[in-house]
Chains A and B, each alone.
Chain A
Amino acid sequence: MYTLIQIAYFSAAVLFILGLKRMSSPVTARDGIVWAGAGMGVAILITLFWDGMQNYLLMITAIAIGSGAAWVSGKRVPMTAMPEMIALYNGMGGGAAAAIGAVELLKGETHGFVVLGLAAIGGAIGAVSFSGSLVAFGKLRDLVKRGGLFPKDKQKQINIYVLGALAALGLFMVIGKPFVVVILAFFLLALAFGVIMTMPIGGADMPVLISLYNALTGLAVAFEGLVLDNAAMIIAGTVVGAAGTLLTQLMAKAMNRSLTNVLFSGLGTVETQISTEAMAGSMKAIEASDVAVMMAFAERVIIVPGYGMAVAQAQHKIWELAVLLEARGVKVKFAIHPVAGRMPGHMNVLLAEAGVPYDKIYDLEEINAEFPQADVALIIGANDVVNPDARTNKSSPIYGMPILDADKARNVIVIKRGRGTGFSGVENTLFYADNCRMLYGDGQKMASELIHEVKAL
């Protein structure tokens, strides 16, 4: 049996790596998850036959509860809520790693010093990832509103104290005979640390943080794999730990934030004291019928969707509009900023849901050169990512962030609900530009009107 189990785990590890590899290209991505899923299925089934296992009733019940709840929630969650669901599922994985660590520590005497240490480290990382992910989930769902629990200048100190206490307690627990109370206190402190650390980080930085916790959970799983002598866990956990770290860096880069910035500055909390200088010029409104004419007789149209579009559930209408325009011979492209949506790549998922093929969707680097040739840039629900201040105004808080050069298009149309500022609270000079017209209204309603008008032409 032992050999059979090892063969199953080995194939699972191979399938995970191949699956992840395939998931990094849009053409093969779909197969990737199926491969990884097959590996997972084999590994889980074979584990039921591990020698000397007991408590089967509890185990099956727990699997049924956990997978049932996750199945229902996973099938139901709308695509817009993806970031927080990933955070939630990731937190569960971290919690499971912590639970393994706790159980192994409670068994205590059968393990040596090194193994107990590994169980403690893995368990602590898992617990931090668990509570941190839950806070991230709460923040993205708007269940948790407030910022840091402590004044900003004290935050770093308190983080260090709690971490120090955690290390001391851990050392005591591993070297001394682990008392039940000490073990529980250790895990409670680790959970508290996850909360303390996550609270001051703003909603805009959450994706990077979720990705970091994803990597941490992987690491925790790898540690518990060492404790349990389980090579599949070591390999899968480490691969995710490394891939997750890289992904976190890529995301931070795409958002023009460094990782240390995200973790320690707490800037992501919306700063409202930005001086709103008086803007030169004024915003000029336009009617849907005029926009329809403009687009229908254009040669090239670039659509810049932002999260506001997804909130208004306008993506299907926008795609319908794009199809109509293409039928009239207009070349339509979609330009996506790395942080459009709520995490890098999120907007691509939302557009894919609406049926937009991925080869019509262009990255910032690919599309920016094309704006000057575009007749119309249609901006819907996006704001900061097209603010030219990021290129020119050194005093702007978003200065230096890569943006889509929508302002360089011949005409810019902005569909916007009202006159408010964007996520960062910064005024957008684009809205005051001469070539820019504002189409005020709800995204979905305006998109339908545009469709109607284009059809009528």
Chain B
Amino acid sequence: MIEGFVALYIFMLAAFTGYEVISRVPVILHTPLMSGSNFVHGIVLVGAMVALGKADPGSSLELAIGFIGVILAAGNVVGGYVVTERMLEMFKSSKKNK
């Protein structure tokens, strides 16, 4: 596993990054940004795939839970992307339009 303290450093730096990156977001983008960050944690699909991929093929319980996990994670990724993209696509400036 990633060495204890290295993991802690990654954790700390990522937390500050997350905080900084959106610290000046205007209210008009709250909803899309929430949806966008919702998409980003869809990376859980990668973990769900590994969990299912390394599950013991003999244990139907592990397989069942892993299977459900991958379904849910895939829903998170695709749903999050589709919805965010639809919202952001609509944001237009009047200057570009005219």
* A residues in contact (CB < 8 Å) with B: 9, 12, 16-17, 19-21, 23-27, 29-30, 32-34, 36-37, 40, 43-44, 47-48, 50, 52-56, 58-59, 61-67, 69-71, 73-75, 77, 79, 82-83, 85-86, 88-90, 92-93, 95-100, 102-104, 106-107, 114-115, 130, 180, 210-211, 214, 217-218, 220-222, 224-226, 228-247, 250-251, 254, 336, 338, 341, 343-346, 348-349, 352-353, 355, 357-361, 363
Contacts and interface: CB of A to CB of B under 8 A. Distances in A.
Given A102-B65, A233-B46, A30 B88 contact: yes
A64 B92 CA distance: 33
A29 B91 contact: yes
Contacts of A241: 15, 18
B69 A96 contact: yes
Interface in B51-96: 51-57, 59, 61-63, 65-95
B34 A86 contact: yes
B46 A74 contact: no
Interface of B: 1-2, 4, 7, 10-11, 14-19, 21-57, 59, 61-63, 65-95, 97
Nearest to B81: A37
A131 to B, nearest CB: 12
Contacts of A107: 54-56, 62
Main secondary structure of the interface of B (DSSP, over half): helix
Contacts of B76: 70, 89-90, 92-93, 96
B91 A93 contact: no
Contact of A217 (B25, B41, B93): B41
Contact of B44 (A26, A106, A221): A221
Q: Report which residue of A12, A92, A106 has the largest number of chain B beta carbons within 10 angstroms of its beta carbon.
A: A92
12 contacts: A44-B49, A62-B68, A67-B78, A86-B35, A100-B47, A222-B14, A237-B44, A239-B40, A241-B18, A242-B18, A247-B22, A358-B28
Given A59-B52, A62-B70, A99-B66, A224 B22 contact: no
B43 to A, nearest CB: 4
B82 A75 contact: yes
A65 to B, nearest CB: 5
A344 to B, nearest CB: 4
A320 B72 CA distance: 41
B81 to A, nearest CB: 5
Given A43-B43, A239-B17, A228 B82 contact: no
A4 B1 CA distance: 18
Contacts of A70: 74-79, 82
Contacts of B89: 30
A49 to B, nearest CB: 10
Contact of B53 (A54, A66, A79, A341): A54
A359 B26 CA distance: 12
A239 B43 contact: no
A41 to B, nearest CB: 9
A40 B75 CA distance: 13
Contact of A58 (B22, B43, B63): B63
A226 B32 contact: no
B36 A20 contact: yes
Contacts of B18: 20, 238-244, 246
Contacts of B2: 226, 229, 231, 234
A29 B15 CA distance: 21
B88 to A, nearest CB: 5
A222 B15 CA distance: 11
A299 to B, nearest CB: 19
Contacts of A82: 31, 35, 83, 87
A199 to B, nearest CB: 22
Contact of A26 (B24, B28, B71, B72): B28
A349 B7 CA distance: 38
A106 B69 contact: no
A352 B90 CA distance: 5
A12 B65 CA distance: 26
A21 B36 CA distance: 11
Contacts of A79: 86-87
